[in-house]
Amino acid sequence: MRRNLDRLEEAAWPLFEAGHIPMIGEWVALPVLASAGALGPTDPLAEKVMYPVAHRLLQRCDAVLRLPGESRGADQDVAIARERGIPVYTALRDVPGVA
């Protein structure tokens, strides 16, 4: 998870600099899990937090950036975004405003 987060966080500055507010579900879900007393993302409580956080965030997102790599959660996010008509970008350079 840490490697995936590091890779995702590399996109945070370019997105912010382009006028967007980057959001990664784990930035919200992990503190929620911790405050619920869970021992981390492998705790049984994680099922009740990790994906639901992502789904709730997608109700407020203007777009999704799906970076390469295997991720069932990211694939679910893309499916939800497409169902809702939210644009999905597959490369950072394709996001409006990113040079």
Can you give the pLDDT at residue 2?
78
Are the beta carbons of 79 and 64 closer than 8 angstroms? no
- Tokens 């490369």, residue? 91
Token pair of 25 as six digits: 């579900």
Distance CA 48, CA 53 (A): 9
pLDDT digits (tens, 9 = 90+) for 14-40: 999 999 999 999 999 999 999 999 988
Are the beta carbons of 30 and 5 closer than 8 angstroms? no
Can you give the pLDDT at residue 73?
87
- In 1-99, alpha helices (H): 2-9, 12-17, 25-35, 50-58, 72-83
